[in-house]
Amino acid sequence: MEKLTVGLVYGQALFDAAKESGKTRKIGEEYKAVSRVFSENPDLKKLLDLPTVTAKTQKSVAGKVFGGRVSDEMLAFICILIEKRRMSAWDGIGKAYEKLVWDSEGYTKGVLYSVIPVGKDRLKAFEQKTAQTTGKRVKLENRIDKTIIGGAKIYIDGKLIDASLKARLENMKQRIK
């Protein structure tokens, strides 16, 4: 629970600073790039979070790794997280930041589950239809779920739109009983 709260607080702070400087997209892209570096080098992220390593040493390492590769604002944010011992909340902060960017641009994000990958054109059609249903601008991410047999499920804003073959079969089964 604490990581969730920390993620929201720092995500909001980063978003406010990025918005004020007019760099919400740039900061978001840099956040993803730094996250990729952490994914590819998990020991680096661990080092920047170790309580036995001084914050001064950790900030020096961060400066050497990210200096000149990310904006001064992003590097300063990483240093703040190191100083406050909040690097463990990195992923939650990124999710909170991304949601705030989407919300500020009037989008809501959802997931389209299908048995096979959906092409770009078909995904756009699902986004448009979902936008008509929800009254919001929608961006969908396609994920594969072989258990739905056919059709699709859309999960958006805590709601599930289930147009899967599996759901239809379950409904028929219930009506037959």
88 & 118 share domain: no
Predicted TM-score of the model (pTM): 0.72
Separation of alpha carbons 3 and 9, rounded Å: 10
Residue 44's CATH number = 1.10.520.20
Domain count, the chain: 2
Separation of alpha carbons 48 and 177, rounded Å: 59
**pLDDT tens series, the chain, 177 aa:** 555 688 999 999 999 999 999 999 999 999 999 999 999 999 999 999 999 999 999 999 999 999 999 999 999 999 999 999 999 999 999 999 998 998 888 888 899 999 899 999 999 999 998 888 888 889 999 999 888 878 888 888 888 888 777 777 777 778 887
Q: At which of 103, 120, 139 does a domain end?
A: 103
Is residue 46 a contact partner of residue 54, using CB atoms and an 8 Å limit? no
Separation of alpha carbons 28 and 14, rounded Å: 10
What share of residues in the chain are helix, strand, coil (percent, to 5)? 65, 15, 15
19 & 72 share domain: yes
Separation of alpha carbons 65 and 59, rounded Å: 10
Q: Which residues contact 49 (CB under 8 A, 6 or more apart)?
A: 85, 87, 88
